[in-house]
Structure 1
C-alpha cells in the first residue's frame, strides 16, 4: 500500500468517526436522533420534534453548548424531490460552545399545525428568534411565553417567507386622506419572473 493511499484511508476513517456530541446524543436519545451529517461548517444533527427541548437542555448543561447563535425556519416545499410525506418545515438551531470552541446545528421537522416545544427556558435569547419563525413561516412554538408576530404589521395575514406566498404580497398600505389613517387595499402589482430559478449543482450552461 502506498503512503498516499494510507493517508487517504486515515482521512476517510477520521471523517466517518462519530464525534463526542453524536455519541452522547445517541446514548441519551437513541432512535430520536434521526440522522447525523457533516455540514459545510459544523456537524448537523436531525432530531425528532418531540425531544428538542430536552435535547437542548442536555446540550447546554452536559455538553457545554452555552449559546444559541440563531434559530430560523425553512420551507422545504419547493425543494427538488420534496413530497407531502416529509415535513414541510424545518426549525434550525445553531449552537455554540465557547468553552470547547465547537459549533453544532440541530434540525427538527414540522408541518403546518405541529407544535414545536420552545427552547426559551434553555436560552432566553431564543424568544425573538422563535417569534420571527412564527411570524415568517407560521411555525407554532409550544410553551412560548409571548408568541406574537414580530416583523409584520398588526392584522397581517399570511406568512411572507413561505414558498407559496407571492413575492409582491397580497395587499398594499397607503395613507387615506379622507380617513386620516393608513389603510390596506388589494395589491395591483403583477409578479414578474426575470431569472429562472436554479439549484446548486445544476448545469447552468
Structure 2
C-alpha cells in the first residue's frame, strides 16, 4: 500500500525565486541561486515583516539557524543570515540582512521564540545588536568577557587569559603573556619569499673563510704510527683484577654448533604432527 506524504521527496526550486521575489516586493535588495539554494537579501528594517510573510503565506514554518558573517572591508561589515525550512515543501531558503557595529537589527523573536538564543549567539560572537530582544546577553563566552571572538580583527590569542592563582585561591584574569614571539603572520605565499630575514638566514650572507683548514698529511689529523700503538694498548692493562689473576684469562671455548658426528635429521618438520598430539 502506497503511503502519501504531504512533503515532496525532492525539492523543486524552479520558478521559486521569482515567486518569492514578487512576494517580498520593495523590501528585496537581491535574490540569487547559489549552490542550489535560494538566497534573498532584504532591507534590514523590514526583516521581521519579510520573515513573517514567508512563514504565514509561503509555508516556511521553521527558523533553523541564525548565523553571522564578518566582512571588515565593507561599510556595513556584518551579515545576519536567517535559514528557513518548509517541512511541507521540503525546501530551504536563506534570508540575509546587513548591519554595522552601531546599527541594530530588528528582532524576530516575535515570529519565532527560538530566535532569542540564536540572536544572543550572534551578538556574543560578532557584536551585532538586535532591537527588541529583551534578553540580549552573552551566551557562549564567560562573564566579563571583552570583545567578540568571531570578528576578523579579533586576535587568535585573545586579549586576556585565565589561570588559577594559588595565592588568591581563585581563577584570575590576566593580560595574555605569550612565551613565543612568532605570533604575527604576514599571509605571504611561501613560494614568493618573505621580505624579511628568517632566523638562521643571516648566515647565508657570511663570506667564506680566506684560508680553509685542510688535512693534507697524517700529522694534521693526529694519525700515524705513534697513535696506532697507543690505540693498540689494552685499556685494562695494570688493573687489580688482571694482576691478581697473574695470567691472561682462559680462551673462549670452541663452538658446539657444528657437530659433524650428529646424524642428519630424517623426515620433515611437517611429520612431527603425530608426536605433538595429545594421547588419551
What is the TM-score normalised by the length of structure 1?
0.79
State the 1:167 CA deviation: 0.5
State the 1:145 CA deviation: 2.5
Mapping 1:33-182, distance limit 5 Å: 33-77=28-72, 82-84=73-75, 87-182=76-171
Q: Secondary structure at the match of 2:110?
A: coil
Q: Secondary structure at the match of 2:96?
A: strand
Asked which structure has the greater RCO (Cα within 8 Å, sep 6+), the reply is 1
Q: How far apart are the structure 1 equivalents of 2:48 and 2:106?
A: 6
What is the TM-score normalised by the length of structure 2?
0.58
Q: Secondary structure at the match of 2:85?
A: strand
State the 1:39 CA deviation: 1.5
Q: Root-mean-square deviation (CA), in Å?
A: 2.1
Instruction: Name which one, 1 or 2, has greater alpha-carbon Rg.
Output: 2
Q: How far apart are the structure 2 equivalents of 1:116 and 1:175?
A: 39
Quick check: which one's strand share is greater? 1
CA contact (8 A) 2:107 2:131 kept: yes
State the 1:17 CA deviation: 8.0
CA contact (8 A) 2:126 2:148 kept: yes
Q: How far apart are the structure 2 equivalents of 1:83 and 1:76?
A: 6
Q: How far apart are the structure 2 equivalents of 1:60 and 1:17?
A: 15
Q: Secondary structure at the match of 1:19?
A: helix
Counterpart position of 2:213: none
State the 1:69 CA deviation: 0.9
Counterpart position of 2:20: 21
Q: Secondary structure at the match of 2:153?
A: coil
State the 1:23 CA deviation: 2.1
Q: How far apart are the structure 1 equivalents of 2:44 and 2:115?
A: 17
For structure 1, the 5+ residue unaligned runs are: 1-13, 198-205
